[in-house]
Structure 1
Amino acid sequence: MSALPFDSATYALELEAKAQRLRDLLAPFDAPEPQVFDSPLKHFRLRAEFRLWREGGERHYAMFAQDDKRTPILIEDFPIASLRINQLMPQLKAAWQASSALSHKLFQVEFQTTLAGDAMVTLCYHRPLDEHWQNAAEQLAKDLDISVIGRSKGKRVVIGRDYVVEKLDIAGRTFTYQQPEGAFTQPNGTVNQKMLNWAYEALGERSDDLLELYCGNGNFTLPLATRVRNVLATEISKTSVNAALNNLSDNAVDNVKLVRLSAEELTEALNEVRPFRRLQGIDLKSYEFGSVFVDPPRAGMDPDTCELTRRFDNILYISCNPLTLAENIAQLHDTHRIERCAVFDQFPWTHHMESGVLLVRR
């Protein structure tokens, strides 16, 4: 990793550049001034993934530049990662150097941590995992107080749990989240908490129902469900659906129906193009949807799904790609105006930016 200045003046300039980028993209739609939510300068990233590189008879953490996959950048610490990851990195390295059972054909390490202090490490191998590995990994988990997951071709061994537990404070209430290994979660916990509070305030207290597309593990679902009568939420990933169901149960949120459908499939269902067995027992016509919440992938909403959102008085949209956000807003601009917008600096020291808009019917 190349050296970063980590000074507040440089960061302020970079954050303002992102805010200006959003202003420029939303200017054709008469958007208000965006709220800007900053990030800690260091130790903000709760996940990290490293390849391992042999040099001097030892394995080292390594990363590669996007334009050069042959020249490793050897890593001893990782200032943008959480303090917990930086604590674990040398401890884990010492453990594999002391144990051939842990180090033999180990080629990748993945860390996942939470603001609540939980940690999980995934070790990836080019060999089968045997009893010697199991014994060494169990001792490692005990010594470092972590969960350990071993991965090799066609096999996954879990020691402890296959998820970490996060706790986030939204509007005076603490929500608990299971965040599974291998599933998407917001990488910057501090900014995620700010983003959830913004969405909670933007939606407001309502007496009707909410449709949520791309709900993931229920990151937004939990707090937003407390603002409406009922929620119908959709997600296509089985892992995320299972985590979301557990999170709803753990937090005693009982006004959410969750179905494993893509946004495109739900659009077909609401348009009565075709029925879906996964919607059996759910009466779509019983919902009085006043708002829709979307947090789509980088490609944004497809045209049909975007057109579906036009039906709702309020469209609350979180985007990881401002270009596709602007494209979707252009499709909706004749019927909806931007009432609020925001920049969430999930990825400081990079050009990536997360943004949010609240669109309301004209």
Structure 2
Amino acid sequence: MPNVLQQHADKLKQLIAPHYQGEVEQFASPSDAYRMRAEFRVWHQEGKPYYAVYTTDNPEGKRQVQIIDSWPIVHESIAAIMPKLLAAVAGNTVLTHKWFQVEFLATLSGDMLITLVYHRALDAEWEAAARALAAELGVYIIGRSRKQKIVLSQDYVTEALNVAGRTYRYRQIEGGFTQPNAWVCEKMLAWAVDAAGDNDRDLLELYCGNGNFTLPLSRCFRQVLATEISKTSVQAAEWSIAENSCDNIKIARLSAEELTEAMNGVREFRRLQEAGINVAEYDISTVFVDPPRAGIDDDTLKMLQGFERIIYISCNPLTLADNLNTLAQTHRITKAAVFDQFPHTHHVEAGVLLERV
């Protein structure tokens, strides 16, 4: 069997070869039971609900429904709760009528959130039955249907990740972005902290999400200015900052493009004033970016070229390579890595450290 992670490393090495000829570090994942988020179709047969996935594993390559009992890639806590959930709702038409999807959000800390999705409006009878189900299973439950969301107690879980000997507690909100592989996430965080080193100046972070990288990186810098456009992610990050007593972080609810305008003095933003942020007061030496698959826009890339160091985590090595064509005009890559976030697939996370020439 070919070493898929080695193939990922070779592919990244090829993509960044015009700018870097050094080694690419490799960070592996457990081969099974690694996924902390999972979503399944609910398939009804002879009056009973079953879990199902869509597959094209047939001679015609057609999309077909496959009924399953469990799924090897899901975290052991999800695998354990799956049969218990079906057993608990057996014969309860209030909970199973027009139930067509289930989503699990698990954590290393032990919290579990289950979202039940329906093709019908949910009423007080459903809510009472769902509360009893949540108590029986010891989980948090949310009900969803079109234009409807019923939160029985809370719509988030609390995760605990260990980085460089410290444990950080994070709020992860249902429907919000979180890293699906907690073990590889810890390795990514440790790599970023190592790349950052110890600094007496400040960090700028774009696309900070729920503060996943922000918290451990804050230990490496005097101050951190972080940005995130999603209101729910900002709220989660602010909770995590307070929970972990990281009092040197401030978050601006701005997109990367808006922050670029603010840094360049093109526009003033009330959201910066409301957060008590004056960008001119920061002495930024390093920028950390973990952008969406589309990569970084041209204006932001130009802004990044003005800083001494850039730590770039990418979920799409192709757009990373494209962005490097600009960044390599002013910076050189001194460190590179691949992280096996999605074992057995062609998807991979990559990281590079760039230092200004």
TM-score interval for Structure 1 and Structure 2 normalised by the shorter chain: over 0.9
- Residue 56 of structure 1 deviates from its aligned partner by 3.3
Structure 1 residues 258-306: Cα deviation after superposition (integer angstroms, max 9, x where no partner):
0110001101111111111111132111110000000000001011111
- Residue 66 of structure 1 deviates from its aligned partner by 6.9
> 1 CA distance for matches of 2:78 and 2:298?
40
Q: Indicate which of 22, 45, 64 corresponds to 1:71.
A: 64
Aligned: 1:83 with 2:71: no
Q: Name the SS of the counterpart of 1:227 in structure 2.
A: coil
Q: Indicate which of 339, 352, 360 corresponds to 2:334.
A: 339
Q: Indicate which of 307, 312, 315 corresponds to 2:302.
A: 307
Match of 2:230 in 1: 237
- Residue 69 of structure 1 deviates from its aligned partner by 7.6
Structure 1 residues 49-71: Cα deviation after superposition (integer angstroms, max 9, x where no partner):
01112233322211213797852
Do the aligned residues in 1 keep the contact of 2:56 with 2:64 (CA within 8 Å)? no
- Residue 28 of structure 1 deviates from its aligned partner by 1.0
Q: Name the SS of the counterpart of 1:148 in structure 2.
A: strand
Match of 1:33 in 2: 23
Match of 1:6 in 2: none
Aligned: 1:43 with 2:33: yes
Unaligned runs of 5+ in 2: none
Match of 1:132 in 2: 125
| AA matched with 1:247 | S
Q: Indicate which of 192, 202, 214 corresponds to 2:185.
A: 192
Aligned: 1:13 with 2:8: no
Q: Name the SS of the counterpart of 2:9 in structure 1.
A: helix
> 2 CA distance for matches of 1:152 and 1:248?
33
RMSD: 1.4
Match of 1:265 in 2: 258
> 2 CA distance for matches of 1:19 and 1:231?
31
Match of 1:3 in 2: none
| AA matched with 1:77 | S
> 1 CA distance for matches of 2:21 and 2:129?
57
Do the aligned residues in 2 keep the contact of 1:64 with 1:73 (CA within 8 Å)? yes
Match of 1:4 in 2: none
| AA matched with 2:259 | L
Structure 1 residues 217-257: Cα deviation after superposition (integer angstroms, max 9, x where no partner):
00000000111000110000111000000000000111111
Aligned: 1:329 with 2:324: yes
Aligned: 1:181 with 2:174: yes
> 2 CA distance for matches of 1:221 and 1:47?
22
Taking structure 1 as the reference length, what is the TM-score of the superposition? 0.95
Do the aligned residues in 2 keep the contact of 1:234 with 1:258 (CA within 8 Å)? yes
Q: Indicate which of 120, 145, 151 corresponds to 1:152.
A: 145
Q: Indicate which of 193, 213, 218 corresponds to 1:225.
A: 218
Match of 2:313 in 1: 318
Q: Name the SS of the counterpart of 2:16 in structure 1.
A: helix
Q: Which moved more, 1:236-245 or 1:268-277?
A: 268-277
> 2 CA distance for matches of 1:44 and 1:304?
37
Aligned: 1:96 with 2:89: yes
| AA matched with 2:25 | Q
> 2 CA distance for matches of 1:88 and 1:350?
25
Q: Indicate which of 243, 248, 251 corresponds to 2:241.
A: 248
> 2 CA distance for matches of 1:206 and 1:217?
23
Structure 1 residues 139-182: Cα deviation after superposition (integer angstroms, max 9, x where no partner):
11111110000112222111232111111111111100110000
- Residue 73 of structure 1 deviates from its aligned partner by 1.6
Match of 1:58 in 2: 48
Do the aligned residues in 1 keep the contact of 2:56 with 2:63 (CA within 8 Å)? no
Match of 2:347 in 1: 352
Aligned: 1:216 with 2:206: no
| Segments of 4+ moved more than 3 angstroms | 65-70
Q: How many pairs were matched up?
A: 352
> 2 CA distance for matches of 1:153 and 1:350?
32
| AA matched with 1:41 | S
Do the aligned residues in 1 keep the contact of 2:215 with 2:241 (CA within 8 Å)? yes
Q: Name the SS of the counterpart of 2:18 in structure 1.
A: helix
Match of 2:13 in 1: 23
Taking structure 2 as the reference length, what is the TM-score of the superposition? 0.96
Unaligned runs of 5+ in 1: 1-9
> 2 CA distance for matches of 1:271 and 1:86?
50
Identity of aligned residues (%): 54
